[in-house]
């Protein structure tokens, strides 16, 4: 199972939010490019970059920093946040992003997701961010009247093969992932799942790894790495079933 470090960008800096709230921000680095290089040096095989400004604005806002991150590492980078037009998808992939993550458009413009999947295949992911089982969009500021599983099945039907699933109530809070929700979604959808939100301990990593037979292939780790409750080396070892 992959362990993917997260780099959340706001105003060019590497930050973490709690439950996606701008009033609950912690700045961890003024140099996200150096942070990306550090995660690569520590053994990361993918990076997860989110343009938080883009998520709230509805279009990418940190493209230059994203470009610098992609150019500074040799490992692939998946990018999300405010990607709601085909032009933005094309631009990010042209910059060298390994994958793009679509969120809000999956609700408002599923035909765009379908076309993107047709053109770019598995380089297109859908992020499903859930609050009490309902999908949250537009930087998590709006809750849609659609269940996470319902959206996952709709996306599968139009060509999506992999989703990033986040439990918003747990994001940035170091309270452990919502294992039941992850397992239920993986089992019922048959999609490849990248789990996100709440990882705080090595036991959490091991627990998510236990869901691999259901299709959970990776876990995104953010605050736990920045707050030091786990190291990337420990997380990678746990995901591989080894001692750090």
- Cα–Cα distance list, 10 to 25, 29, 61, 166, 226 (Å): 10, 11, 9, 19, 16
Q: Widest CA span of the chain, in angstroms?
A: 46
147 among known catalytic residues: no
If phi over 0 gives left and psi between -120 and 50 gives alpha, with beta otherwise, what is residue 239?
alpha
- CA–CA dist 77, 58 (Å, integer): 20
Nearest alpha-carbon partner for 62 in 9, 8, 6: 9
List the structure tokens of 10.
């706001």
- CA–CA dist 98, 141 (Å, integer): 27
Catalytic entry in 129, 167, 171, 204? 129
List the structure tokens of 80.
């999300």
- CA–CA dist 197, 192 (Å, integer): 17
The residues with which 92 forms a beta bridge, in sequence order, are none
8 among known catalytic residues: yes
Question: What are the backbone dihedrals phi and psi of residue 202, each rounded to the nearest 5 degrees, phi first?
Answer: -65, -30
> How would you class 150 by CB atoms within 10 Å of its CB: exposed for 0-12, middle for 13-18, buried for 19 or more?
middle
Beta strands 124-131 and 134-137: pairing type?
antiparallel
Question: Which sequence positions are flagged as catalytic?
Answer: 8, 129
């Amino acid at each position: 199972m992959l362990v993917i470090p997260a780099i959340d960008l706001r105003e060019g800096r590497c930050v973490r939010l709690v439950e996606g709230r701008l009033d609950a921000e912690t700045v961890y680095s003024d140099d996200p490019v150096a942070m990306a290089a550090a995660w690569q040096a520590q053994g990361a095989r993918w990076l997860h970059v989110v343009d938080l400004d883009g998520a709230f604005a509805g279009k990418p806002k940190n493209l230059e920093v994203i470009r610098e991150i992609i150019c500074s590492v040799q490992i692939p980078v998946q990018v999300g946040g405010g990607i709601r037009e085909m032009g933005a998808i094309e631009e990010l992939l042209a910059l060298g992003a390994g994958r793009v993550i679509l969120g809000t458009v999956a609700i408002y413009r599923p035909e765009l997701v379908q076309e993107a999947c047709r053109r770019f295949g598995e380089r297109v992911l859908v992020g499903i961010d859930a609050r009490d089982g309902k999908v949250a969009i537009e930087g998590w500021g709006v809750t849609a009247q659609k269940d996470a599983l319902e959206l996952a099945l709709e996306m599968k039907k139009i060509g999506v093969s992999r989703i990033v699933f986040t439990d918003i109530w747990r994001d940035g809070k170091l309270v452990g992932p919502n294992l039941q929700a992850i397992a239920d979604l993986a089992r019922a959808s048959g999609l490849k799942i990248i789990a996100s939100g709440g990882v705080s301990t090595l036991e959490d990593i091991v627990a998510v790894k236990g869901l691999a037979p259901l299709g959970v292939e990776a876990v995104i780790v953010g605050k736990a790495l920045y707050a030091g409750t786990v190291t990337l080396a420990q997380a990678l070892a746990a995901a591989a079933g080894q001692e750090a």
